[in-house]
A = this chain, B = another copy of it.
Amino acid sequence: LIGRAALKSDHRPRTDCAQCPLRKLSLFRPFSDEELSFVQRFKVAELKAKPGATILQEGQDSPHLYTLLAGWAFRFKALPDDRRQILDFALPGNLLGMQGAVFEKIEHSVEALTEVTLCAFDRARLWELFNHHPSLAFDVAWLASRGEHFVDGNLLAVGRQTAEERVGHLFLQLYDRLAALGAVEGKKFACPASQRHIADALGLSLVHTNKTIQRMRRKGLIRWSPDSVEIGDEGKLRAMTGRREDDRRMRPLL
């Protein structure tokens, strides 16, 4: 609820979906005029949230579904004590709150990691989308499946890989996803996640995460600075983690 207050609705003339800067990337499949016009009407607000703001809260019933337009966020589940597990990071183009739209409650929270821009869609009209826009309905299913795909990979890493492998896996995953968005220069990308976030994503303690990063840095596998990550030896990292490059086929953007 505190977090909710931090969500600011922006009632200035909203970005026209047809002019959406994200949509212009060749990564996203072109939408027909009809699709665009529906998405435009489906969109009820454009929001901004500050780092740390709660976008969706576990156990609550959100009336909205969001597309992350800009910035980073993360999905997580918390335990009664202070343990928490980050389920995955959300980057521009990702859909948030699907579980809430289809069940009535969501069982995870979503928090902004940087300042984020969100497109809010009216959950009540999701039905209309399925009824009259099958291509968009398919896109929703596509995005939901992709979400599961990420969590699958994270579960493998957390359950069966060593600390170094986990760090390598996460950094490669972010590298691949950001590269698709054109947000990598050389092999370097801005990474707003702190070591606490990384630890919570990998199921490691903060201290051990730090020591692991230091060790990998000394080995030349990666370079690290508090606000960016650089892949030092991509081949060795991929071999070590078993992570293949993401495919770069076009994808939908709601």
Give, as a whole number of angstroms, the nearest-CB distance from A231 to chain B.
20
Picked from B83, B102, B127, B156, the residue with its CB within 8 Å of the CB of A145 is B102
Assess the B152–A152 pair: CB atoms within 8 A.
no
Give the total of A residues in contact with B, Cβ under 8 Å: 45
A132 to B132, CA, bound (A): 10
A84 to B160, CA, bound (A): 7
Say whether A32 faces chain B, with CB atoms less than 8 Å apart. Answer: no
A152 to B77, CA, bound (A): 8
Picked from B108, B155, B247, the residue with its CB within 8 Å of the CB of A154 is B155
- A132-159: which have CB < 8 Å to B? 132, 134-135, 137-138, 140-142, 144-149, 151-156, 158-159
- A94-142: which have CB < 8 Å to B? 98-99, 102-103, 107-108, 127, 130-132, 134-135, 137-138, 140-142
Picked from B77, B151, B203, the residue with its CB within 8 Å of the CB of A148 is B151
Assess the B155–A83 pair: CB atoms within 8 A.
no
* Given known contacts A160-B83, A202-B159, A103 and B152 CB-to-CB distance under 8 angstroms: no
Give, as a whole number of angstroms, the nearest-CB distance from A241 to chain B.
9
Say whether A52 faces chain B, with CB atoms less than 8 Å apart. Answer: no
A229 to B99, CA, bound (A): 30
Q: Which residues of B contact A159 (CB under 8 A)?
A: 85, 158, 202-203
- A43-101: which have CB < 8 Å to B? 75, 77, 79-80, 83-85, 87, 98-99
Q: Which residues of B contact A144 (CB under 8 A)?
A: 141, 144-145, 148
Please give me the residue from chain B that is nearest to A103 by CB atom: B145
A102 to B143, CA, bound (A): 9
Assess the B107–A160 pair: CB atoms within 8 A.
no
Say whether A161 faces chain B, with CB atoms less than 8 Å apart. Answer: yes
CB-CB nearest 10 A-B residue pairs: A159-B203, A148-B148, A85-B159, A130-B134, A77-B156, A85-B156, A83-B160, A131-B134, A144-B144, A158-B159
